[in-house]
Amino acid sequence: MEKKIQQLKEVTIRFAGDSGDGMQLTGTQFSNTSGTLGNDVNTFPDYPSEIRAPEGTLYGVSAYQIQFGSNLVHTHGNKMDVLVAMNASSLSVNLPKLKENGIIIANSAGFDEKNLNLAKYEENPLLNDSLKNYQLIAIDMESIVGEVLSGLSLSPKETARTKNFFALGLVYWLYDRPTEHTEIWLQQKFAKKPKYLEANLLVLKAGWKFASESELFPVQYQIEKAKLAPGYYRNITGNEAVALGLVSAARKANLPLFLGSYPITPATEILHFISGYKKFGVKHLQAEDEIAGISSAIGAAFAGYLAATTTSGPGLSLKVEAMGLAMILELPLIIVDVQRGGPSTGLPTKPEQSDLLMAMYGRHGEAPLPIVAARSASDCFNMTIEAARIAVKYMTPVILLTDGYIAQGTNPFKVPKLDELPEIPAKYETNPEGFQPYKRDEVTLARPWAIPGTPNLEHRIGGLEKKNITGIVSQGPDNHQLMVELRAKKIEGIANDIPLATVEGEQEGDLLILGWGGTYGAIKDAFDKLHSEGKKISFCHLTHLNPLPRNIGDILAKFKRILVPELNTGQLKLLLQARFMRPILGLNKVQGLPLQEFEVTEKVLELLNEKGGQ
């Protein structure tokens, strides 16, 4: 049949099924292909914390959402245009997030009596009129892949596992995507397993062919390339961006790199990615626990490495005492916290921004540390570089906050050249003349970095308070006061070495939306939409949280009302209120889900209506 072609600017798709249905893989392949074709892309992996939740259950649904388009894409999208549902529960859980008249591509084999009962359906929704407000395309994917692979010596279970690639082929055709990129990936993935390679290639192409020939797909949609700045792009997750940032920072500083970490969701992939960079001299340790991870990194920093440790949630709690040790030792250390829902084990696979106060104050004694936060998956690279720059220049541990959404989601990353990155001048002390372990640089207040084994530079550092300049153990009250104040003054001084905050929209007036971290995309989209409609609002986003940009007080003073959207109960709001002694409004979400554009839009419109103006 003759197919219609329709042009679109952006599309949001969600692949959903059981944890074992390969939805994360399918979504990753689709997003990578779309990024390769020049679309802007943003993704959100949404999966249960159970390693393998019971099949067919509502709480076992795993999903991967992608927004891609010819416009700049800042979030994974609001309501979906397309839902690929591999079983009844995946439809039930995700249907409320689908637009009216949106497309449902359902695997009808996943709607048998057992699956319907697990999804709490009394009737099969594919056979009644409950989905009349949507474009329903029901396909028995398992029967089709069974026929396609009938000539191969595969078990029924092995055959059924390929249905995700059949679904991927369908959606590739629907949005005019070639299969070649995934074919190359399959050839690499199954190079030593030709049987599985052949099966997945056959099924992928069968899905594309089915959609191209079937009357069930009367329209093919096309999306032009996004107008991105010229350069070489690749799709990247936030965790991979952190790993690349660490390797690049070490090269810029001309230092060896060491990562000491303990695996914990959703930060584990940083350790995985780092392990692939051994050819650059990177050393890593998968420690037996969180304390060993950070302690090994402290030892590496003492030995002259650019040292880092990664964690999430309760892992940050376990690192607290060692963070204080690194602070009093005044050694450079990058502490990456991929925030997740808490407290305790909480929501291990879900994003949150609830560690800000922990990062700010979560140590005994007076132990201030610099805190920076990434705003997107690709920005994790930039903020890792910034964390390394501050750590080395000021001889201090630095906390980098990301979250589960941007850490495991993806967006296009413009690959920079090494000479385009900020300089990270690192200098070991080698001159014994006049050397003292706590003799500070006059500008930065950083102490010298003397590497063990350097002739005539023997010195002592440790957890006990040290006498100013000489580093001799001291319990003197006046000396302790002086050292506490010196360490705090060093951190405060970093404000003179970070960018000033900038405001989009009105430079003064009624309402300023102030964001930080991974909420950037949702706030940015809401601001752009409302500002283009003539709403007199403003937007400022923070990447440096301690110290704050030195002009932030002046910015806040120019607005009558400040709104801070956060994935917590108001932590930045609390810090701002305490420091600037003025009320701050909050938009607070703690559902284990990213902030969405419509939530910000609704809150802003509510506030503007309260004001009675635009």
Cα 183 to Cα 19, 191, 204, 485, distances in angstroms:
23, 12, 8, 60
Q: Cα–Cα distance between 489 and 387 in angstroms, integer?
A: 18
What's the token pair of residue 39? 């679309």
Is cis: bond before 178, omega within 30 of 0?
Answer: no
What is residue 51's predicted lDDT score, i.e. its pLDDT? 74
Domain assignment of residue 453, yes or no: no
* In a shared domain, residues 218 and 239: no
The pTM of this model reads 0.94
Q: How many domains does the chain have?
A: 3
pLDDT category, 49, cuts 50, 70, 90? Answer: confident
* In a shared domain, residues 573 and 542: yes
Strand partners, 15: 64, 84
Q: Cα–Cα distance between 258 and 331 in angstroms, integer?
A: 14
* In a shared domain, residues 406 and 543: no
Task: List the CATH number of the domain containing 546.
Answer: 3.40.50.920
Per-residue pLDDT at 408 exceeds 70: yes
Kindly report, residue by residue over 106-149, the tens digit of the pLDDT: 999 999 999 999 999 999 999 999 999 999 999 999 999 999 99
Domain assignment of residue 472, yes or no: no
* In a shared domain, residues 196 and 243: no
Domain assignment of residue 594, yes or no: yes
Task: List the CATH number of the domain containing 186.
Answer: 3.40.920.10
HEC assignment per residue over 412-423: EEECCCHHHCCC
Domain assignment of residue 452, yes or no: no
Domain assignment of residue 352, yes or no: yes
* In a shared domain, residues 177 and 280: no
pLDDT category, 612, cuts 50, 70, 90? Answer: low
Domain assignment of residue 489, yes or no: no
- Backbone φ and ψ for 504, nearest 5 degrees, come out as -95, 145
Please say which residue of 223, 251, 271 terminates a domain.
223
CA angle 271, 19, 378 (to 5 degrees): 40
* In a shared domain, residues 210 and 293: no
Give the residue among 138, 85, 102, 137 at the shortest CA–CA distance from 8.
Answer: 102
Q: Are strands 504-505 and 509-516 parallel, antiparallel or unpaired?
A: unpaired
* In a shared domain, residues 259 and 408: yes
* In a shared domain, residues 293 and 218: no
Please say which residue of 172, 200, 223 terminates a domain.
223
What's the token pair of residue 73? 């894409």
Helix axes 180-189, 194-213, angle to 10 degrees: 160
* In a shared domain, residues 214 and 348: no
* In a shared domain, residues 27 and 48: yes
pLDDT category, 20, cuts 50, 70, 90? Answer: confident
Structural domain including 84 reads: 4-223
Please say which residue of 223, 252, 282 terminates a domain.
223
Give the residue among 335, 331, 372 at the shortest CA–CA distance from 498.
Answer: 372
Task: List the CATH number of the domain containing 356.
Answer: 3.40.50.970
Domain assignment of residue 467, yes or no: no
Domain assignment of residue 354, yes or no: yes
Give the residue among 261, 253, 267 at the shortest CA–CA distance from 305.
Answer: 253
Q: What is the pLDDT of the chain when averaged over all its residues?
A: 96
* In a shared domain, residues 216 and 240: no
* In a shared domain, residues 298 and 175: no
Give the residue among 449, 324, 323 at the shortest CA–CA distance from 395.
Answer: 449
